[in-house]
Structure 1
Amino acid sequence: MAVVAVHRAVLGDGRPTLPYAEAGRPGSGPPLVLVHGYADSWWTFEPMLRAMPSALHAYAPTQRGHGDADKPAEGYLPEDFADDLVAFLDHLGIERAVLVGGSSGGVQARIVAGRRPDRVAGLVLLGVPALLADKPGVTGVWETVRTLEDPVDRAFAAGFTRGLVAGRVAPGFLETVIDESLKAPARVWRETLRGLLETDLAATLTGILVPTLVVWGDRDPLLTRSDQQLILDAIPDSRFLVHEGTGHVPYWEDPDRVVRELVAFTAALRG
């Protein structure tokens, strides 16, 4: 089991300070940067980080407004998170990385891949939507989120989190994820989801020319196979892996398998 160390990245220039987890050690290939999704934190990747072989070097930042990161008054559009991601790479002196986006974190990851291909060696999308505004389940969540007040109701956060899972996940881990989601104030829940719904997500799929791996659970309650096909059709050098019996967050339900897939993907990049 890998050792996970937690640090803080002081990005400067008016940008927030971001906690980040690190596992593995520098190797011959580019490091992985794991990008969490909506109302999450670096903890969402903790099972994956623990399963990382020493040959992989991985970082998982908590994004602005979430977890223990700084919570500025504004800046919650996907492009704001993408700009922070580039600043994070700069802070750590990472010239090129494999960006691994989980859920909506894949939106900012693919924005960076499309705009700054010089900084991205490969892209992995784990349960990432092609589009969101067309999903009745998501627009239904918005009707609740738009009226949220502080403190965010734990029952709502717990229902939201547990609703993403189809298989078995350690109860203690799920409770940690719920606790982390409650660190985001109501305005961050609201403005982050508003940004995702109002952004032209189809446009964020254009111009991506780096090798891309798309992973999807076939029991995902939010995303259909046809939604994932939109990603595959838009990105020329993309491959598709299906996790049967898995929900929206395959890296919660089968982190060991996801790590094995990352090992194979990064090895192919070096080859």
Structure 2
Amino acid sequence: MPIVELNRQGLYFEDSGGSGPALLLAHGFLMDGRMFDPQVQALAPEFRVIRWDARGFGRTQWDGKPFTLYDSAADGIALLDHLGIPQAVVGGMSQGGYCALRIALRYPERVRALVLMSTSGIVDAEEVRVGYRQVRDLWGTPGATENIIQNLAGRVLGDSPIHAHWLDRWRQTPKAAFVATINNLVDRDDVLPRLGEIRCPAIVFHGTDDTSIPLSEGERLHKTLPGSTRFVSVPGAAHAANLTHPEVVNPPLLEFLRAST
């Protein structure tokens, strides 16, 4: 099993291999690296696609301690170091996009370009954070957990028929992991004032039917990043547009990668 000890975590990762330019991908909340399967299929072997399961998610052996998005960013860089990759295109979806932005801010010399999916540079409004904390406190409560899962399924995956196996994975999330990972999401800092520091090329994807992060936030991210070259709206897509609508996401992604590497 591809697990490596980095930053005191047993980090699970997958590497498509090859000699092509590297693309490092960070997944969204409650997801894991498998959410990028459609991108690996489309991009490898022309590009070397690397994805990992963040702390508290998927198959990573998390140490059980609280962590921040900057810890997640350090994990991504440590993985690149482990693989001997000095620079990569860095991408992420939602919470993974928050991580990707912080990699670009803290380790700019390591980032060749940015791929941002269904994400934002701002913090959530207080009423949204209150809602997240309520969900956090209810997780593991009989009945409430299933209601949360069904609600999240619609918000993240929309009407996609791929619901079932993702929902089964969500049901297996322990309370401690859910608490730590949602705190990582809710307690993030506001990097909007610093986005002007990110000078590398960027592409921003966003679903038109995203109710978790409004389309307008993706548009604002695109307009604020100095190097952002393209904004791609994904018609009919909810939050996980890259997973549910790869036929719309992959062609402009491939075009961007070829132009940026």
Smaller-chain TM-score bracket: 0.7 to 0.9
> TM (normalized to structure 1)?
0.85
1:7 aligns with 2:17: no
Distance 1:252 1:53 in 2: 16
1:64 aligns with 2:55: yes
Partner of 1:3: none
Kept in 2, the 8 Å contact 1:76–1:188? The answer is no
Kept in 2, the 8 Å contact 1:31–1:58? The answer is yes
Alignment identity in percent? 26
User: 191-200 or 77-86: which moved more?
Assistant: 191-200
SS in 2 for 1:153: helix
Paired AA for residue 263 in structure 1: L
Distance 2:157 2:126 in 1: 18
Q: What count of residue pairs does the alignment treat as equivalent?
A: 258
Partner of 2:173: 184
Residues 241, 92 of structure 1: CA spacing in aligned structure 2 closer, same or farther, 3 A cutoff?
Answer: same
Paired AA for residue 7 in structure 1: P
Kept in 2, the 8 Å contact 1:34–1:99? The answer is yes
Q: CA deviation digits over 1:92-124, x for unaligned, max 9? A: 111111111011111111101111111111101
Partner of 1:153: 145
Kept in 1, the 8 Å contact 2:132–2:186? The answer is no
Q: CA deviation digits over 1:183-214, x for unaligned, max 9? A: 43222222222232222233563521111111
RMSD: 2.4
Kept in 1, the 8 Å contact 2:27–2:33? The answer is yes
Residues 138, 243 of structure 1: CA spacing in aligned structure 2 closer, same or farther, 3 A cutoff?
Answer: farther
Distance 1:135 1:104 in 2: 18
Unaligned runs of 5+ in 2: none
Out of 78, 86, 110, the residue aligned to residue 119 of structure 1 is: 110
| Runs of 4+, deviation exceeding 6 Å | none
1:34 aligns with 2:28: no
Q: CA deviation digits over 1:14-70, x for unaligned, max 9? A: 52111122336222xx21111001121112112322333421210111111111111
Q: CA deviation digits over 1:247-268, x for unaligned, max 9? A: 1111122123322222111111
Out of 3, 6, 12, the residue aligned to residue 19 of structure 1 is: 12
> TM (normalized to structure 2)?
0.88
Paired AA for residue 169 in structure 2: E
